[in-house]
A and B are shown apart, each in its own frame.
Chain A
Amino acid sequence: METMLCEGLSKKYGRKTALNRINLKLEEGRIIGLVGPNGSGKTTLIKLASRLLVPTEGTIKICGEEPSENTKALVSYLPDRSFLPDWMNCEELMEMYGDFFTDFDRERALGMLDNLHIDLGMPIKKMSKGTVDKVQLILTMSRHARLYLLDEPIAGVDPASRDYILNTIISNYDEQATVLISTHLISDVESVLDEVIFLKEGEIYLHRNSDELREETGKSIDEYFREVFRC
Chain B
Amino acid sequence: MLGKLVKYDFKAVAKIMVPIYLVLIVLSAVFALLLRMRLDNGIIFTLLSTALSTTMIGSGIGTLFCIASRFNKGLLKNEGYLSFALPVRTSTHILAKLINAVIWSVTEGAALFVSIFLIVVIASSSAELVQMFRELMDFFGLIDKDIILGILNALSIMVTELIASICLIYAGYAVAHLFDRHKTLIMAGFILTVIVLRSTIVSEVLYNNYLDFLDNQFLWYLQSLIPAALYLVLTWYILDRRLNLE
Residue positions of A touching B, CB distance < 8 A: 13, 47, 50-54, 69-70, 72-73, 75, 77, 79, 81-85, 87, 96, 99-101
Closest 9 CB pairs of A and B: A73-B87, A83-B81, A72-B87, A79-B81, A83-B82, A69-B87, A77-B85, A100-B86, A69-B89
Which residues 76-111 of B have a CB within 8 angstroms of A?
78-82, 84-89, 92
Contact status of A69 and B12, CB under 8 A, knowing A53-B244, A81-B78, A83-B82: no
Across-interface contacts of B87 in A (CB, < 8 A):
69-70, 72-73, 100-101
A50-B85 in contact (CB<8A): yes
Contact status of A85 and B82, CB under 8 A, knowing A53-B243, A96-B8: yes
Q: Whole-angstrom distance between the alpha carbons of A79 and B81 in the complex? A: 7
A34 to chain B, nearest CB (A): 18
Contact status of A52 and B81, CB under 8 A, knowing A69-B88, A72-B87, A100-B1: yes
Nearest B residue (CB) for A76: B85
B81-A99 in contact (CB<8A): no
Which residues 45-86 of B have a CB within 8 angstroms of A?
74, 78-82, 84-86
A126 to chain B, nearest CB (A): 15
Q: Whole-angstrom distance between the alpha carbons of A69 and B88 in the complex? A: 5
Residue positions of B touching A, CB distance < 8 A: 1, 4, 8, 12, 15, 74, 78-82, 84-89, 92, 240-241, 243-245
Interface of A is mostly: loop
Across-interface contacts of A75 in B (CB, < 8 A):
85
A48 to chain B, nearest CB (A): 12
Nearest B residue (CB) for A75: B85
A to B CB contacts below 8 Å, 23 in the list: A47-B245, A51-B84, A52-B81, A52-B243, A53-B244, A69-B87, A69-B88, A70-B87, A72-B85, A72-B87, A73-B87, A75-B85, A77-B81, A81-B81, A83-B78, A83-B80, A83-B81, A83-B82, A84-B79, A85-B82, A87-B12, A100-B86, A100-B88
Q: Whole-angstrom distance between the alpha carbons of A82 and B73 in the complex? A: 13
Nearest B residue (CB) for A71: B87
Across-interface contacts of B92 in A (CB, < 8 A):
69
A10 to chain B, nearest CB (A): 16
Contact status of A85 and B79, CB under 8 A, knowing A52-B243, A53-B244, A100-B4: yes
Across-interface contacts of A69 in B (CB, < 8 A):
87-89, 92
Instruction: Select the residue from B86, B87, B240, B241 with max chain A CB neighbours within 10 A.
Output: B87
Q: Whole-angstrom distance between the alpha carbons of A52 and B85 in the complex? A: 8
B86-A72 in contact (CB<8A): yes
Across-interface contacts of A13 in B (CB, < 8 A):
244
